[in-house]
Structure 1
Amino acid sequence: MQSHQSSKTTLGVLLASSAGVAWGLSGVAASTLFSHYPQFTPLWISQVRMVSAGIILLLLSGLRHQHPLAIWREWRSAGLVIAYALLGLIPVQFFYFLAVQAGNASIATILQYLGPFVIVIYYILRYRQAPRRAEVVGMLLAFCGTALIVTHGHLTSLSISPLVLLWGGLSAVGVATNALIPRAILPRFGALNCTGWGLLLAGLAMNGYHPVWRHSVPFSWGAIALVVAIVLVGTVLAFILFTSSFSYILPTTASLLDAFEPLSATVFSILLLGTPLTGFDIGGGLLVILAVMCLTVDFSKYLRLLGQRKG
């Protein structure tokens, strides 16, 4: 029995970790696309990614008989999915690609990984609740890690473009709104429906602003492979792997394993693109990951268990 539970936990960990790697690979693919094919813009790839992935997820929902149209039968759920698309998914997707274009996938992903702290700040301001000790420690670590990345130890100057900091910061805000807005509808309508409609509506809204067909891009096999990797591997597959892990491990554990996203983005950036990263970048990234662990892991629980074992 214990062996069976251990196998399920291992499977869940592998699924969540693979999702993080897929997300990290998506950022590197986007960085490669922007550098080798400058005609591709963050707006274009965001539109194509969201519309394509949204349609695929909704088709999967239909095949699983999860009633994709049910979300539109109530005004409240319809309003929330629209808000989720416009205020959650557009910032977390579009601003992230802008940060990748202005800098590189590794730094953009690390800055976006600060999103949980935006959620903490929201709860502190909204509900007037004092932060827990772990949250205070985490915020201090996150601040130090970000400061290392941004200044490289020189507090009077920036080591990265202000645009990277701007778009990376806004994508972190997008991570928060992306997590907070759909909370009320996810249990009722399922992740496939909520995310599928959110992605589709966000992509259509951006096409309303600037239709994708008005922007001509060169289509070579290399560009097509990168776009397919971003849509299928970095969006659809990553989403399915991450949500599937919930059947075997707790969502909090899965969120902790999301640390594989900035780690894989850094490793792939160095190995595949030759992106120069300093010790400040790597050290700052590790501090940010450790900071998010402070939010996710219940250290007091583990200390109690450790004390019980020693006793």
Structure 2
Amino acid sequence: MFRVSRRNFLIGTTLAIIAAIMWGFSGVTVSMLFKLNSAMTPLWVSQVRMIAAGLIMLGLAAIRREHPFRVWRDGKSAIQLVGYAVFGLIPVQYCYFKTVEYGNAPIATILQFLGPFVITLYLFSFKRQLPTRAETIGLLLAFFGTLLIVTHGHFNQLAIPPLVLFWGLLSAVGVATHSMMPQKLLPKFGVLSVTGWGMLIGGNVLNLFNPFWTRPVTLTFRDVRLLLVTVLVGTVLAFILFSTSLTFILPTTASLLDAFEPLSATLFAVLLVHTHLGQMDLIGGAVIIVAVIVVTMNFKALFQRMRKQHINQIDH
């Protein structure tokens, strides 16, 4: 049960906002890596980031006595964990970095922000769950915002490279699968253990295609610093802060605050790498953020119903 108080709300919202800003900042640091070192590729960065972050998270899980190896004793859970790593974490990491490579961090983050609408479309297509009025409005707004970004108002031509749109939409699908697939694993085995193993498995699956240690990459001190920021700040610390925020505020509130991610990515990209965003990019991004807020706010009633059902199950 949540202890509703002004202090808890302030702590939770602060942690969630800082985590979102860190995610946005890490997208810009990856963009800087691609520009400063031509040997850096989305595949290489994804492999290093996922393996390093996975090992750190599993270490923290062991320190917190979450018993990280417990998940492998359950065959069904182990299969779900591998599926989460391959179809959830790899797309949300690798496809996002490919979007950054072909475009820039703000556009990549905005397109990835379409993930909630992929979930809505999935529920409608495969679960026959009709979208609510708020979700329908959000879908229309998101479609319009995306259209502005990819066409800049000239609806007969693309204003961004097709590869940016392709990888960006795949990263949005990754957000959806990343959100849905571990729902049964997280409460049973702990967020650090599940995400840590997912990261470690995903990074090693990517190694099957082209191991990162077989490619000569010369790292300068600057490159190492940017990688550390990406792994420690943009992955491990951001994840821990966001997960901690959920002990003080509802997931619906935390999801709303995730809007700070594209905002911070845009701000840092303009300040640090002098990325130029057109007027239509800014308007389209704002429309998508509003669309996500509209949809996320509608989840509050659903969450409350789920919590009541959980309490009733415990009582019975």
Match for 2:204: what amino acid?
L
Distance 2:287 2:82 in 1: 35
Name the structure 1 match of 2:100: 100
Distance 2:88 2:299 in 1: 30
Offset from partner CA, 1:182-207 (integer Å, 9 cap, x none): 11111101111110000000001111
TM-score, normalising length from structure 1? 0.94
Name the structure 2 match of 1:35: 35
Per-residue deviation, 1:292? 0.5
Name the structure 2 match of 1:240: 240
SS state at 1:247 partner: coil
Which structure 1 residue ranges, 5 or more long, are not aligned? 302-311
Offset from partner CA, 1:87-113 (integer Å, 9 cap, x none): 100000000000000000000000000
Match for 2:290: what amino acid?
L
Name the structure 1 match of 2:72: 72
Name the structure 2 match of 1:184: 184
Offset from partner CA, 1:137-162 (integer Å, 9 cap, x none): 00010001001110000011111110
Per-residue deviation, 1:180? 1.0
Distance 2:192 2:156 in 1: 46
Match for 1:104: what amino acid?
N
Between 253-262 and 4-13, the greater mean CA deviation after superposition: 4-13
Name the structure 1 match of 2:276: 276
Aligned length: 299
Distance 1:127 1:219 in 2: 48
Aligned-pair Cα RMSD in Å: 1.4
TM-score, normalising length from structure 2? 0.93
Name the structure 2 match of 1:205: 205
Q: Does 1:223 align with 2:247?
A: no
Per-residue deviation, 1:298? 3.6
SS state at 2:130 partner: coil
Per-residue deviation, 1:216? 1.1
SS state at 1:69 partner: helix
Name the structure 2 match of 1:307: none
Instruction: Tell me: CA distance 1:100–1:300, structure 2 relative to 1, closer, same or farther (3 Å).
Output: closer
Instruction: Tell me: CA distance 1:20–1:300, structure 2 relative to 1, closer, same or farther (3 Å).
Output: closer
Q: Following superposition of structure 1 onto structure 2, how do residues 81-120 of structure 1 map, counting pairs within 5 Å?
A: 81-120=81-120
Per-residue deviation, 1:299? 9.5
Q: Does 1:264 align with 2:264?
A: yes
Which structure 2 residue ranges, 5 or more long, are not aligned? 302-316
Per-residue deviation, 1:279? 1.1
Name the structure 1 match of 2:311: none
Distance 1:187 1:166 in 2: 33
Distance 1:127 1:202 in 2: 28
Distance 1:111 1:127 in 2: 25
Instruction: Tell me: CA distance 1:151–1:4, structure 2 relative to 1, closer, same or farther (3 Å).
Output: closer
| Matched-pair identity in % | 53
Distance 1:84 1:239 in 2: 17
Match for 1:173: what amino acid?
V
SS state at 1:184 partner: coil
